[in-house]
Amino acid sequence: MRRLPRKDILGLEEISTQEMDIILATARSMKELVQSPVKKESSLKGKVVINLFYEPSTRTRSSFELAGKYLGGDVINITTATSSVVKGESLLDTARTILMMGCDVLVVRHSSSGSPHFLAQHLSCSVINAGDGMHEHPTQGLLDLFTIRDQLGSVAGKRVVILGDVAHSRVARSNIWALTKFGAKVTVCGPKTLIPVEVRSLGVEVSYDADTALAEADVINVLRLQLERQHKGLFPSIREYHAGWGLNQRRLNLAKPGALVLHPGPMNRGVEISSDIADGDQSLIEEQVTNGVAIRMALLHLLVGEVARDE
């Protein structure tokens, strides 16, 4: 049986390229299952996956739910608004209660960075980070890597621009870890107030000028402007943000012909990305959603699945 040499998936900072290769190879066969008429396997039969989300989610939560169900597992969702969290129950007490019901994989999204790491230290089940504060979103980083490699074969030497609100983005951090480990040339670009100074230490170039950054880009990963996490005064207005850093047709024309456009979703159309680009030929945004199910199936299978798959 093929397994990852770890109990938890907490961040791509600590995951090796060898492990990521195993995850992506497994996701390749999982994608075939997602796209087949009968989406059912039994690798997770008898296993329980619990989604514990302290923040809203459409893509991540539903794709973990579908991933677990496609593999024959039992999946339940706990949303904090309708749970005993509103009565003041702590994160650890909530998680321990869930574990005592027989949980094999706990998928956690939380606004505090490090929450999944804290739970992983205290719980015997596997913990998957579904996004912790502004720290990491490892499953998004893996599905973005999978999507780019699907198109380009390899990311080594490819110029990838991560465009937008880097300061508040856990997606940016997980992408940077994954892409730089595989040899991509990563540039982060956005308003100076939305690019943290320490990001240079992660081995990326920094640009505050979108037109310059996009020249010769192979891939543009557009980040959502996280209005809910913004403090006042980080940029003048939404209109000026779009004018300065939004991806539109004129800017896309500066990149390499056929450059790939990604966005983790949810999108602010007309803010960080124009609708015509989001829906255009170079956009892989819908493909990312499908790949997200395949990546999450691969992770569940590799952490607790019982049946070896041919890859």
What is the binding site for ligand CP (CB under 6 A)? 57-60, 131, 137, 140, 264-266
Q: Write down the least CB distance from residue 53 to ligand CP, Å.
A: 9
CA distance 143 to 8: 17
Closer to ligand CP by Cβ: residue 131 or 190: 131
Tokens describing residue 11: 């961040």
| Six token digits for residue 100 | 């005592």
Q: What is the smallest separation between the CB atom of 244 and ligand CP, expressed in angstroms? A: 24
**Residue (59 or 135) nearer to ligand CP, CB:** 59
**Complex with ligand CP: residue 60 or 291, whichever CB lies closer:** 60
Give Cα 136 distance to the centre of its chain: 8
Element (H, E) at 188: strand 185-189
Residue whose pair of structure tokens reads 């039969």 in the numeric block: 45
CA distance 47 to 34: 19
Token duo for residue 293? 């199910």
Q: Residue 52 contacts by C-beta under 8 Å, 6 or more apart in sequence?
A: 78, 94, 95, 98, 106, 107, 108, 109
Nearer to ligand CP, 185 or 225 (CB): 225
The single-letter DSSP state of residue 265 is S
185 or 263: whose CB is closer to ligand CP? 263
Phi-psi region of 129 (alpha: psi -120 to 50; beta: other; left: phi over 0): beta
Q: How far is the CB of 109 from ligand CP (least distance, A)?
A: 8
